[in-house]
Amino acid sequence: MVSEEFTQKAAAVQSLTQRPNDDELLQLYGLYKQATVGDNTTDKPGLFDFKGKYKWEAWDKLKGTSQEDAEKQYIALADELIAKYN
């Protein structure tokens, strides 16, 4: 169960005035999935699904990170991005 602060940061990131770069977005995605779902147990996307593969890898590299730690890391990254892109 994610905290209210996490939910607020996720909403704030969705309404940034500028778009973060792809690496930042992938990092956000991985941390979000790890915080909300836990370890990635899904099959890796197909060879030609580049976007899906990058998202899967961003989440999978966090395997073993607790949901609480992922939430804290997500909030910290969201704060950085909000300061940088708003």
Asked if 73 and 31 touch (Cβ cutoff 8 Å), the reply is yes
Q: Could you give the CA distance from residue 20 to residue 5 in angstroms, rounded to a whole number? A: 20
What does the block give as tokens for 37?
């779902």
Nearby residues of 6 by Cβ (< 8 Å), 6 or more positions away: 35, 71, 74, 75
pLDDT digits (tens, 9 = 90+) for 35-69: 999 999 999 999 999 999 999 999 999 999 999 99
| pTM, rounded to two decimals | 0.95
pLDDT in tens, 14-28: 999 999 999 999 999
Q: Using CA atoms, how far apart are residues 70 and 68, in angstroms rounded to an integer?
A: 5
